[in-house]
Structure 1
C-alpha cells in the first residue's frame, strides 16, 4: 500500500512515527553532556534514532527520568531502518549508596532489663 502514496506524504508519516516514538521514550542515554532518547531497550542493548544521534561508543550512562539505572560499555551493532542498535559489552547497575571503607558497629538487637 505504501507504493501508492506520494513520497512527501511517506516522509511526513515517517517523521510523525519517529516523533511519536521519541515522546514515548522514558529512558535516556547520556554521553558526556549530551542526552539522547532511547527508542528501544532490552537486556542485551538499546536503539536510538540513527539520523538525530551521532555514532556512539564507549562508556555511557542510562537514566530513566532522574534515576540513574546503569553505566555501560557499548559497541554499535547494526542499523535497523531508522534506528541504530547498540549492544552492551558491560552493563553495570548503578548503586544508590556508596561503599564504606570501615566496619559499622551494629547496635545490640535487644537489651535485658534490670529488675
Structure 2
C-alpha cells in the first residue's frame, strides 16, 4: 500500500522533522563568525539545514554546547532531503593547551620555586 501526501502536508512533515533534529543535538559548527546548528553527525562528517547552510569549504570548528570538540577541514558534498552534507578531510581534537615537543615523566614537578637570597 502506498501513501501520498499533498505538497503542503509533505512540507509540514519535513519542517517538523528538521525542527526535531535541531532540538535533539547541541552540536554546532562555527565558521566565518557564524554559528550553525548540526542536524546529524557521524564519524566522517555532518549535515546542516540546506536553507540556512553556507557553502562551507575549509577550516571550521565543531562545538558541543560551549565545549570545543574538533577543528575540522571540510568540503560540501551534496544536498539531499533539505540537508546539506559535509565530509571531513581532516578532523583534529581540540586541545586546551599547546602540545609539548619533549618527553614529560610522570610525577615530574610542574614548576620550580627558586630560593631568594
User: Which band: TM-score by shorter chain?
Assistant: 0.7 to 0.9
* 2:74 alignment partner, SS class: strand
Counterpart CA distance in 2 for 1:9 and 1:68 is 38
Deviations 1:20-48 (A, max 9, x none): 11111211000021111111111111111
Match of 1:53 in 2: 53
* 2:73 alignment partner, SS class: strand
Match of 2:74 in 1: 74
Counterpart CA distance in 2 for 1:13 and 1:104 is 56
Match of 1:110 in 2: none
Structure 1 position 104, deviation (Å):
7.7
Match of 2:17 in 1: 17
Highest Rg: 1 or 2?
1
CA 1:103/1:14 → structure 2, altered by over 3 Å: closer, same or farther? closer
Aligned length: 106
Structure 1 position 103, deviation (Å):
8.6
Deviations 1:38-94 (A, max 9, x none): 111111111111112121111000000110000011111122221111111111110
* 1:85 alignment partner, SS class: strand
Structure 1 position 2, deviation (Å):
4.4
Gaps of 5+ in 2: 110-117
CA contact (8 A) 1:36 1:48 kept: yes
User: What is the CA RMSD across the aligned residues, in angstroms?
Assistant: 2.2
